[in-house]
Amino acid sequence: MGVRKLINKRARRYVGAGIAAAVTTFIAMNTLSEAHAQDCSLQDVMTWQVALHDMSIEQSPEYISAITEAFLTACPNRPEFADASRIAGMAAADLGDVSTAASHFENAGQMTDKLSNFYAISSFLRAGNETAAWRKRDQFVEAWRSRLDRHPHVSVDAEPTSDGMIYQLYFNQTNKNTGIRAAWVAVPYGPGWPATLTFSRDPMRLAFRKARTGADESDFRYVDLHRCFARRTLGQIKTKLTSTEFDAAARSSLTAYLAHPDRHAGTSKNRVDICYSPARLLPGVPAQ
């Protein structure tokens, strides 16, 4: 089933985020006085949100776009306008309407989740606005780094190079979903997507390997290079090599990438291409 017929799992995530933000707004707005009444009511907000969660209707990009565009037109001064613009931008991107998507993301302001930001960057690139695309990248990378810096279970080290920054991440706890324990993230100073090297024990691949070989793989590690539209396993380490010992090789590889980073916006003609795995390009706090 095509993306125009049924919104995919990645895109469905923004609906839940919109509901959570709007419920918070609903509670807060109930305390406002009549002097701050908007040009549409809380009932209009709730009607829009209920429609976003109406499982009796196919939650396609067309449907989400239609109901959210109607809300934006009717309620331009509501505090939910920015989050609705984010949702409308993602739906427009899935429909391949790059100019509309870019316009909505301009109205969405600062967004906190990875998926929305990667949608915005790709939309700006497809619309021909590289300046806005890489500015959005820089804003989100700084917010991402700041969140990790404050987390007690993450160690972050930043190294400037001639062409960009390399962030070295060590996690006290391995991500149970990806197996990532350490990562090196390269972010160009100029135009270009981030790229990430991960040092991990991917549980799914290790399970397949054990089923195939029957061997104890407790010391086995994968080294993967993640780029916006590609992922490649660079090596499989069977010794007790630590991430610290691997550090020099990781930095050298990513320094070479920064000299010629990926800049393209994908190859699809009818929709906006989103990076394959935003969560691996900018790893977050390990899931418990």
User: Residue type for 97, please?
Assistant: D
Instruction: Please give the pLDDT value at position 267.
Output: 74
pLDDT 10s digits, 54-113? 989 998 999 999 999 999 999 999 999 999 999 999 999 999 999 999 999 999 999 999
Q: Is the pLDDT of residue 196 over 90?
A: yes
The answer to whether 132 and 101 are in contact (CB under 8 A) is: no
The alpha helices in the chain, defined as continuous H runs, are 9-29, 42-52, 61-74, 81-94, 98-108, 114-126, 130-150, 203-213, 243-259, 278-281
- Strand 180-188 with 164-171, pairing: antiparallel
Q: Look up tokens 């991500």; give the residue.
A: 175
Q: What is the pLDDT of residue 13?
A: 52
Chain segment 217-233, per-residue pLDDT in tens: 555 566 889 999 998 87
Distance from C-alpha of 266 to C-alpha of 215, rounded to nearest angstrom: 40
Average pLDDT over every residue of 265-275: 81
pLDDT reading at 129 higher than 90: yes
Lowest mean pLDDT among 108-112, 240-244, 283-287: 240-244
Terminal CA-CA length for the chain: 33
Q: How confident is the model at residue 216 (pLDDT cuts 50, 70, 90)?
A: low
**Domain ranges, ordered by start, for the chain:** 9-109, 139-281
d(CA 155, CA 243): 13
Angstrom CA distances, 103 to 93, 107, 119, 127, 178, stand at 11, 7, 12, 10, 34
